[in-house]
Amino acid sequence: MKLILTQEVSGLGAPGDVVEVKDGYGRNYLVPRGHAIRWTRGAEKQVESIKKARSVRDIRDADTAEQVRDQLEELVVNLKARTGDTGRLFGAVTVADIATAIKEGGGPEVDKRRIEVRNPIKTVGPHEVGIRLHEDVSATVKLNVTPA
């Protein structure tokens, strides 16, 4: 099945890329979740606009990404979340919460789609979160979750 990616998919490609995937993966996962659209000659014309929007959001080069990485790795982000009596959170910390906390903590603005949370954050305390800034550059941010 031939698809056009509308969002970045790890291990597959970036927005605007035309990819060939197995029918079930495309039909049952990528298309329903909005990660991709079916490839047609008409949809092929949208590829340029998707790539243009992507280039506006992306960090231009590796040097700039390394500067942003240095800023992020020096930063300790504090995030307040509602907790129960045992110290567990009601729900989990989302990537949108993390992006907002980085911005409020004095860090650069980070696209929430670039934030990678390996395990769901459901407890109070220190955690580490990865951020893909560029193809070759990623940063690790120290996140301190405190009760609200």
Please report, for the chain, the start and end positions of each structural domain, with discontinuous segments joined by +: 2-57, 62-147
Whether the predicted model's global pTM rises above the 0.75 cut: no
For residue 55, what pLDDT is reported?
Answer: 64
- Residue 143: what pLDDT? 92
DSSP 101-128: HHHHTT-----GGGEE-SS-EEESEEEE
Distances (CA, A) of 54 to 60, 95, 130: 11, 19, 20
62-147 placed in CATH 3.10.430.100: yes
The pLDDT value given to residue 62? 73
Tens digits of residue pLDDT in 22-35: 999 999 999 999 99
Q: What is the pLDDT of residue 59?
A: 61
In the prediction, which pLDDT does 126 show? 94
Residue 23 has a pLDDT of 95
Phi, psi angles (nearest 5°) of residue 96: -65, -40
Residues in the chain with pLDDT < 50? Answer: none
CB 116 within 8 A of CB 141: no
Report the pLDDT value the prediction gives residue 27, as an integer from 0 to 100.
95
CATH number of the 2-57 domain: 3.40.5.10
Distance CA 75, CA 134 (A): 19
